[in-house]
Structure 1
């Protein structure tokens, strides 16, 4: 029996990776396909129930997902858009909590206001994983993507704090609104302090290890350490993870090249696995959600689920547009910043409100009983409405999100062109500095340097100067002919493939050892990675 259970546990990540790989190969949104696959599998007879453990999600899945998103985010861009991000990640979450809570309390007979507020806090924070993946693939303007990423980084802290306050009030702990605001302020400040206190020592340690593997192992520990330390201190673990990730990501350029190469590949694989498993698990929760609804009328359930979903979507529109115009009217600095987001960008931001695993984890974390031993009011119903809201936002908004972007014609092609222009200018300046430094070093050499070595170094610097400029033409010249750098990359790849075949053949003939093969293949792979960068 234990062996069969172990096989089922293994089947979840294997199936998640297989479905995600199919979605990526077909050019589809992997999170949406995974949720649909989980739903379909949940209808198969004899498939066991996979309950989403809230502690597992909040400690094992959430920290690395948030940490990586923060690491890859631009601290400069987030700071420039901090006002808009704060209005969404704090103001919108609280507004959604209150609006959905009051509506659910009035709409559902017998649901106490505190429990209804718990539902509002649960469904308040969007998960931008699906939205951002589509946004980047379709080339949305950078500022829109920055706002969506920034909101998703910080809104979980607001929602989880509001959720804990509402659950405590519903369970009989006697929390008030003022208590909630004080707790939110305290946990946020302490979370920021933990992240800021943990980031510099982690960076100091990484910079002195001089071992790429160990340095990345330290980075792997960082999100879990930040979250655990913050939670032990009753601070916001989410904020601590985000702040430490932003700090370490901002200082990542000071690491060695090998550290960055290994880390980039490692985190891509890690996040791919975690996201795949999480979204598959969302779909697999259907049987557990339905089991506790025997006492409800399905017509009423369908009406309540539709009403909560529509309200969640409408509240986001009602918040995004008025707050934008209010900010522009009140502040000239906001007016200048908001020039990069027109009405189309605000429509995209408003529609990108897909909910995710944090909402489900919070719903499963609702206690079964109150402080006096009575069943927690409406727990099964809250779990059902959370599941239907997550599912509806992922499927309805997620499936229509790409079409909306194309229909609005908001893709940032001009921005991508300007990025290439500025990159070309930066490459030119850097190559010039490299050539000047080469001449300085050559003048200080005590012995003459082989001219072929010097010439090769000069050609490499000139190649970097030309590469970005030629990319402006899409790799072709004015008459459609292949530019020199494109020719160089194509021919060099053919040479690298030939070299690999020889090395593998020599290994198969026992003329070189596998360790030798690994070393030489690594050198060829690094060179091909540099070629593929173009």
Structure 2
């Protein structure tokens, strides 16, 4: 049994890797391609039916995927765009769940309003991986990417809370608005508190314990599971625990990790997240045979009709919400008009169109209990089928059309001027490097040519010359070369201190700061490994 499961997992990993290469070759975003491929594979005669257990998704897949998303999210950008992010991740989720609830209740015979809210809670959150993977292949304003990524960090939590409240309503037949509101805020706030508490504990472990790069990397994988399990144990939001803790530790990463830990963790996480995402999306496609069983008295034509109507409605609901939510606050509040540049309708439409559903929706649907009050849960298989179609419909239609729409709209990047910031940062780093050299190595600058050349490089902000100088055949002595390399490493530390000043002054984007930190990590690794 163990051997069979292990072979299945290895086979899935291999298939995911191969299919992803094919998707890169044909220019289709890999989440879309993997879902379609999984769907086609599921119809191959003799293929074993693989069931995606909701507990497996929520416990094994969701924490690291959320943690990685939080880790790569700029807290500064998240806070700057908190209003549109919260309007989407909370307001749109509730609006979508409500609209879908009333639509399905009116359209499907015997479908109660409470059941409608169960369905609405399931299909309300868009999938971040699908949207960002599509946007990577085209140039879009930084504002759009930040809002979509920020939305994905919170909307999973809000949709799951709506889903759980709706399930409880179906089970008890009672719904009290004020109690539901209190539960919503309690679950959310306490989830954040638990995430931050565990984040602070891990901060002290990384900061003050004698960790190694391997230990640091291992702890980064343990951390999201600790946050998620602890919050869920007390019936709070594990999603918000992981997100809040991940944002906190990401913001403090420069204080707690050495360059070796950052490099090793980055490479390992990129590989693991790629495989997890790949498995999840191909498993979505493989679920169709299971989903189609047990539709009961509904004909396939009926369920397809219901599914397509709700799929189209979910797209229109997002568009109907996004445009007023973007422009109405600007009309009502002068402070918003003064603080934020007016977004073009093109960028707003991109945000409205990038609402592809994914794994959280399917996992929520699968987590609906089989038995309710001693009888089969009403319409469970119908909800599963509708959810699957909504995921497939939005992924294929919106995912494949989004690059075409972006090229057609020809959106100009209205984000931050990264080139200007880059020039300013290079000037600042060169200045502090020169000051350090002249204060601590003034004699060597006068006596040894490589020191003078490096000084000239910083003065003129020109090509790096240290690699050439390290390999000169007429090097006076090994001790001088070692001292020269020591100075270069010390200058890297000086640059890091200046970068943290820039971070605190908030004059550069977090994206650019991370790029510079990465460059310094690579430069230090090369210097320390040199003979």
Report the equivalent of 1:230.
231
Equivalent residues of 2:217, 2:261 under 8 A apart: yes
Distance of 2:288 and 2:332 partners within structure 1: 46
CA offsets, 1:71-127, max 9 Å, x none? 111101110111111111001000100100111011000112111110011000001
SS at match of 1:45: coil
**The one of 426, 442, 448 aligned to 1:451:** 448
Partner SS state of residue 171, structure 1: helix
Equivalent residue, structure 1, for 2:174: 174
C-alpha distance in 2, partners of 1:211/1:529?
A: 15
Q: Equivalent residue for 1:436? A: 435
Q: 2:127 maps to which residue?
A: 127
Pick closer, same or farther for the CA change 1:45–1:529 going to 2, 3 Å. farther
Deviation for aligned residue 1:325 = 2.0
Task: Tell me the distance in 1 between the aligned counterparts of 2:159 and 2:5.
Answer: 34
SS of alignment partner, residue 130 of structure 2: helix
Which residue of structure 2 aligns with residue 82 of structure 1?
82
CA distance in 2, matches of 1:276, 1:438: 49
Counterpart secondary structure, 1:348: helix
Report the equivalent of 1:284. Answer: 286
Aligned to 2:261: 259
Which residue of structure 2 lines up, in the alignment, with residue 506 of structure 1?
none
The 1:5–1:211 alpha-carbon spacing in structure 2 relative to 1, beyond 3 Å, is: closer
Q: Judging changes above 3 Å, is the alpha-carbon distance between structure 1 residues 5 and 194 closer, same or farther for their aligned structure 2 residues?
A: closer
CA deviation after TM superposition for structure 1 residue 332, in Å: 2.1
| Gaps in structure 2 of 5+ consecutive residues | 472-520
2:260–2:525 CA contact under 8 A, matched in 1: no
Distance of aligned partners of 1:411 and 1:12 in 2 relative to their CA distance in 1, 3 Å threshold: farther
Q: Which residue number in structure 2 is paired with residue 347 of structure 1? A: 349
Give a deviation string over 1:441-472, Cα, whole Å, max 9, x none: 226x8x99962452354356458x33xxxxxx
Does structure 2 retain, via aligned residues, the 8 Å contact 1:227–1:237? yes
Corresponding residue of 1:472: none
Q: 1:257 to 1:4 in 2, by over 3 A?
A: closer
CA contact (8 A) 1:32 1:394 kept: yes
> Over residues 451-498 of structure 1, what are the superposed CA-to-partner deviations in whole Å (9 max), with x where a residue is unaligned?
2452354356458x33xxxxxxxxxxxxxxxxx67xx89x98xx9xxx
SS at match of 1:235: coil
Query: Is residue 143–residue 415 contact of structure 2 (8 Å, CA) maintained in 1?
Result: no
CA distance in 1, matches of 2:201, 2:4: 45
User: TM-score, normalization: structure 1?
Assistant: 0.84
Asked whether the 8 Å contact 1:126–1:353 carries over to 2, the reply is yes
Q: Deviations over 1:22-65 (max 9, x none)?
A: 22344331111111110110000111111111111111111111
Residue by residue over 1:416-438, the C-alpha shift from the partner in whole angstroms, topping out at 9 and shown as x without a partner, is 7x212211210111111011012
Q: Distance in 2 between matches of 1:86 and 1:165?
A: 20
CA deviation after TM superposition for structure 1 residue 68, in Å: 0.8
Give the aligned partner of residue 95 of structure 1: 95
User: What is the alpha-carbon distance in structure 1 between the residues aligned to residue 369 and residue 230 of structure 2?
Assistant: 24
Question: Is 1:316 matched up with 2:315?
Answer: no
Q: Distance in 1 between matches of 2:105 and 2:341?
A: 40
Corresponding residue of 1:17: 17
Structure 2 CA distance for partners of 1:102 and 1:435, relative to 1, 3 Å: same
The reply to whether residue 117 of structure 1 matches residue 107 of structure 2 is: no
1:175-199 Cα deviation digits (max 9, x unpaired): 4332221111001110111122122
| Mapped contact 1:191–1:240 kept (Cα < 8 A) | yes
Q: Give secondary structure in 2 for the equivalent of 1:52.
A: coil
- How far off its partner does 1:386 sit? 0.4
Asked whether the equivalents of residues 195 and 245 of structure 2 are also in contact (C-alpha less than 8 Å), the reply is: yes
Secondary structure of residue in 2 paired with 1:339: coil
Alpha-carbon contact 1:100-1:116 (below 8 Å) kept: yes
Shift of 1:289: 0.5
Is residue 400 of structure 1 aligned with residue 401 of structure 2? yes
Compute the RMSD of aligned alpha carbons. 2.5
The separation in 1 between residues aligned to 2:266 and 2:154, in whole angstroms, is: 23
Which residue of the partner structure matches residue 375 of structure 1? 376
Matches of 1:34 and 1:59, distance apart in 2? 22
1:124-163 to structure 2, matched below 5 A, reads: 124-163=124-163
- Say yes or no: does 1:67 pair with 2:67: yes
